[in-house]
Structure 1
């Protein structure tokens, strides 16, 4: 997809505010046709600009332990380990970073016992992991997937 124009960004902003907002409502707010909104949304979805997801509160569904784990890997093993980590349902995010750790992951567990099992029985068995640094979230101040700044 080419560069997003002002209409595309405005559509994304309205969907960001309320993902259930109708195409007709967005069209009226932008003074364009409903077909224009539908076509642009479909194109942005096809091109991977965004996706519709359900954002849940982990605590409300019983995932009470949220962690960020820094992982140091053997040289040449980073991608293999990242792909392996992707297979765990508990792992929400895996990323390669510059800095102290080769990989950072975000994971959610029902309780501390499940976290300990993951670290000592899963991570410990993977050849190529040199060390892990487990950081348990104590309090959350922000959890957002909003990237479009609304203009008033």
Structure 2
């Protein structure tokens, strides 16, 4: 993977601002050729610097319950449990953390009944799960995937 330069960060900034912005428009804004922008974007995509995704509002598509769940695992089971959690459509994020919980996940559910089922049937039956700590989002103040200043 090659190192990102100032132009790469500028391109990322323009895409972050408006992911539908054309390569031609970005090229004009940076005073370079469209081919330069296309080549750099393709390289960054290939290198895994970013990916094009659609970021939906969960509430507007019927996912009204957002939770953060901390999981304490039995020693030696963390990786296997994380792999299993990855298979659930409801789970958006799984990460290993230091501190009180071995794994922390973010998940979205249609309603509280689906959440209760997930905790009491799915998590409770996973070998190596010692305990779970469920926090339901009451109000959201920020939800961003923007990491660079524009």
TM over 0.5: yes
Deviations 1:39-58 (A, max 9, x none): 00000001100000000000
The alignment's TM-score, normalised by the length of structure 2, stands at: 0.99
- Give the alignment's Cα RMSD to 1 decimal: 0.4
Instruction: Give the corresponding residue for 2:32.
Output: 32
Instruction: Give the corresponding residue for 1:133.
Output: 133
Instruction: Give the corresponding residue for 1:105.
Output: 105
1:43 matches 2:51 = no
Q: CA deviation at 1:67?
A: 0.0
Deviations 1:67-95 (A, max 9, x none): 00000000010000000000000000000
Q: CA deviation at 1:118?
A: 0.2
The structure 1 segments of at least 4 consecutive aligned residues displaced by more than 3 Å after TM superposition are: none
Q: CA deviation at 1:2?
A: 1.7
1:59 matches 2:65 = no
Q: CA deviation at 1:148?
A: 1.0
Deviations 1:118-151 (A, max 9, x none): 000100000100000000000000000001111x
**Distance in 1 separating the partners of 2:57 and 2:146:** 16
**Distance in 2 separating the partners of 1:75 and 1:149:** 40
Q: Gaps (5+ residues) in structure 2?
A: none
How many matched pairs?
150
Q: Gaps (5+ residues) in structure 1?
A: none
